[in-house]
Amino acid sequence: MLFCAMAGAVGDFPSLKGMDVNPDEHAIQDFLQVLEKHRIDCEREGKYEEAEMARTRLQQLREHEENRRREELRSQQLQERLGVEEAHMKELQEFNEIWDRKVEEFEAHARNLQNTLGSRHKAEYQAYLEKIRRETEPRTPRWSKDLLNLRKIQETLAKMKKYGEAGKTKAQADAVEEKEHQMWKAKREQKLGALEDQFMHKQQLEMTGLVKRIQSGREEQKQARKSELERLLQRYHNVKTQLESQQKIIQQRVEKYPLNAPGGSRPSTAKSRPITA
């Protein structure tokens, strides 16, 4: 019969010579069934030597297939873990690139706001200086009664042709006028300085407020980046833990039922899409 005819080939068993090229699982299962049936038939027909050869080769083939499936499983699971790592690294790189652009855009906008405000302050400051110098009272000195009286005496003496006395009175009046002019100028500059300081303080408060708002926005952005990174890392941890758990279950199944278990674990979703919750 056919099975007995196959017995002659069992000794050499050329079918074992290509097991490392990942043969079709269904074909292997079919061949194992054929070989097992052949062993039973030989045993039933009293062909014990052929039955022993079939049993030995059957055991060899099973061990070979079990080892091949274990190795295939290890290789596939390693690729799945590497796929998760690669997806995580790619997502992490994209995350950093996106946030680096956000930070750069934020800082550019902040510099623009500060430069714009600084330019406006400079223009407003110059305009304000011109305004207070033009409008702040008293814009001219207010001469004392003593000086006005000396000038009147000076004019009277000159009309009376008393030029010597008029000259002395003029010199005295000039000295009083210079003194009063310096006093007026000092008081005016002090008043202008106070107005200028007040205006500059107002501008400084405005700039300080802008800087504080920028810093607050910078801290909010920093916290948002930190929180999003923590969520990304947690998603990666969850996916990695879930994959390891699934792989462990499949490993246990393959160790217990090596020929009944699938040839490898199910493809991980981490291979085909980014790590997500």
pLDDT, greater one: 35 or 149: 149
Residue 258: which residues within 8 A CB-CB, separation 6 or more? 65, 66, 69, 70
- Is residue 15 over pLDDT 50? no
**Confidence grade of residue 5 (pLDDT, cut at 50, 70, 90):** very low
- Is residue 159 over pLDDT 70? yes
Q: What is the pLDDT of residue 9?
A: 37
Residue linked to tokens 């055991």: 59
- How far CA 93 is from CA of 86, 97, 101, 256, in Å, comes to 10, 6, 12, 41
- Is residue 35 over pLDDT 60? yes
Amino acid identity of residue 42, one-letter, is: C
- Count the neighbouring beta carbons within 10 Å of the beta carbon of residue 90: 12
Distance CA 171, CA 183 (A): 18
Percentage of the chain modeled with pLDDT above 90: 61
**Is 277 a member of any domain?**
no
**Is 97 a member of any domain?**
yes
273 closest CA partner among 83, 89, 76: 83
Percentage of the chain modeled with pLDDT above 70: 84
**Confidence grade of residue 213 (pLDDT, cut at 50, 70, 90):** very high
For 41-45, 176-180, 223-227, which range has the lowest pLDDT when averaged over its residues? Answer: 41-45
**Confidence grade of residue 6 (pLDDT, cut at 50, 70, 90):** very low
Q: What is the pLDDT of residue 29?
A: 78
**Confidence grade of residue 255 (pLDDT, cut at 50, 70, 90):** confident
pLDDT, greater one: 181 or 63: 181
The domain total for the chain is: 1
**Is 260 a member of any domain?**
yes
Residue linked to tokens 């033009």: 134
264 closest CA partner among 70, 60, 122: 70
156 closest CA partner among 140, 176, 142, 170: 170
- Tens of pLDDT, residue by residue over 71-111, are 888 999 999 999 999 999 999 999 999 999 999 999 999 99
Q: Domain residues for 257?
A: 2-271
**Confidence grade of residue 259 (pLDDT, cut at 50, 70, 90):** low
- How far CA 273 is from CA of 13, 51, 268, in Å, comes to 45, 52, 9
**Is 240 a member of any domain?**
yes
- How far CA 59 is from CA of 44, 62, 226, 234, in Å, comes to 19, 5, 58, 47
**Is 54 a member of any domain?**
yes
**Is 107 a member of any domain?**
yes
Contact predicate 261/250, CB 8 Å: yes
Distance CA 247, CA 11 (A): 38
Q: What is the pLDDT of residue 253?
A: 86
**Is 210 a member of any domain?**
yes
CA angle (63 as vertex; 58, 66 as ends), nearest 5 = 120
Tell me the whole-structure pTM to 2 decimals: 0.62
**Is 276 a member of any domain?**
no
